[in-house]
Amino acid sequence: MAKLEIFLLFVLQLEGISGDASNVYHTVGDDVVLPCVGPSSSSCRSVIWLYNDIVHSPTKSKVSDGNINQKSVNAARLSLNTDCSLAIKSIIPEDAGRYTCRRGNTDSEVHLNILSISPSQPAGDAAKDGNINLQCSLWKYFTRCLNNRFVWINDVGTELVGKNVSDQKTSAQIQCVSSLTVKPLDNRYTCQFFEGNTMKIEAHYTVLSTGPPASSPLSFIMLTLNITALILMVGLTVGIIRTRGRKKPQKDIKVRFAADDDTVDYENDGERSAAAALH
């Protein structure tokens, strides 16, 4: 019985390592923490983290004797927590793969799967119509995509028809890929990745319109007011200019003198001087 219990415990440990619990799913840009399973210890000085991007690829060292390998391509984004878990900041697709934590005599594996969504170059008639292709990719360690599927959903929750592509290899990692052709409108699209009937991860993308912004009643009213104000300013300016052009300086000054009982008006300085001499 003791041997049977040990065997069952060994099987359960293997299932914990290679089963679904060892797979974690994240989207590009996330900060992730990969757990290190093994005997508890007050120090991580003996902990080693190893990495493989694809099967049979050379194993790369991420952490050795509790220290980050500074020669690693993503060393600046790596850190080791006090529980010996490996933290990765702002993940990119190339971070996907198999991570192995070696703690004492125990190895624990974590498969990091990363979902990305981005526009790709339009092809065929889509280019003529001004449409764009959205590409949803799951970057992963070696696992076939036969039982996997993608579901595309628009911003009102309607499921859309996309194209599934299986087992593409870009760079080193295996990808499951799906594409969707859309018009460049201000809409949000969601890509969901399923294993069987279980959704594992989803990513979102907002397509920004490349055309002129749609007019609204408020924007039309503001435009009308601005045009009216401009016309009034131009009219006022023209009126001021015309008024100044018509106004002439007054050269002649009427001077009134009293001569006996009569009042005489003189139109200029010459007549005024003559009148003054007579009096």
Q: What are the tens digits of pLDDT across the range 105-132?
A: 889 999 999 999 988 754 444 445 678 8
Kindly give the residue spans of alpha helices, DSSP state H, lying in the chain.
2-18, 125-129, 217-246, 269-278
Q: What are the tens digits of pLDDT across the range 224-257?
A: 677 877 787 877 777 777 777 665 555 554 444 4
Q: What are the tens digits of pLDDT across the range 166-186?
A: 667 665 677 888 888 888 777
Task: Give the tokens for residue 113.
Answer: 């799967």
CB within 8 A of 194, min separation 6: which ones?
Answer: 148, 149, 150, 151, 200
φ, ψ of residue 179 to 5 degrees: the values are -125, 155
- Return the HEC string of 162-193: CEEEEEEEECCEEEEEEEEEECCCCEEEEEEE
Taking the C-alpha atoms of residue 117 and residue 205, their distance in angstroms, rounded to an integer, is 7
Taking the C-alpha atoms of residue 113 and residue 37, their distance in angstroms, rounded to an integer, is 19
Q: Which of 129, 121, 115 is nearest to 190 (CA)?
A: 115
Do 113 and 96 contact (CB within 8 A), yes or no?
A: yes
Q: Is 272 left (phi over 0), alpha (psi -120 to 50) or beta?
A: alpha
